[in-house]
């Protein structure tokens, strides 16, 4: 598995992106991250809840309770308009960052 400290700094964006696509709940998000990365990156649940707390505190997401399912009532998260704006900004910032790092990391032998 990949060293995760670089990814760690972008977990907020990753989670926000998934919630941006549709309203999701915790387990779904961790499953989605694993499957999209072909199990190369797995988010620890404890970390995921910390991300939720942080995003909710910053009012980038909101939560609501969904229907009753397999283990109980699911808590869903929904992106706010502030969250959408933040995500867009993050995407631009990442593009910029990637370009800069690429300048130094690409073409090495």
Partner 1 sequence: MNRLNKHVNELFKDVPEGEKKEKILQEVLQNLEEKVIDLIEQGKDEEDAINKAIVEFGDIEDLKEELEIPQSDKKDMTKINLAYSIWGSLLIIALFVFINFYYTPQAIWFVYPTFAVLWWPLTMYFIWMKNR
Could you tell me which stretch among 13-21, 48-56, 89-97, 99-107 binds partner 1 (CB under 8 A)? 48-56
Residues 6 or more apart from 33 whose CB is under 8 A from it? 14, 18, 41, 42, 43
| 44 touches partner 1 by CB under 8 A | yes
| 94 touches partner 1 by CB under 8 A | no
Beta bridge partners of 69: 72
Cα–Cα distance between 81 and 2 in angstroms, integer?
32
Number of amino acids touching partner 1 (CB under 8 A): 21
| Footprint of partner 1 (CB under 8 A) | 25-27, 30, 42, 44-47, 49-50, 53-54, 57, 69-75
């Amino acid at each position: 598995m990949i060293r995760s400290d670089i990814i760690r700094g972008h977990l907020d964006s990753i989670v926000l992106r998934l919630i941006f696509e549709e309203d999701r709940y915790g387990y779904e998000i961790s499953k989605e991250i694993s499957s999209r990365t072909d199990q190369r990156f797995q988010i620890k649940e404890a970390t995921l809840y910390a991300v939720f707390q942080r995003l909710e505190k910053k009012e980038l997401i909101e939560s609501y309770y969904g229907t009753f399912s397999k283990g109980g009532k699911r808590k869903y998260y929904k992106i706010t308009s502030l969250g959408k704006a933040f995500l867009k900004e993050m995407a631009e910032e990442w593009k910029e960052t990637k370009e800069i790092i690429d300048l130094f990391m690409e073409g090495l032998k």
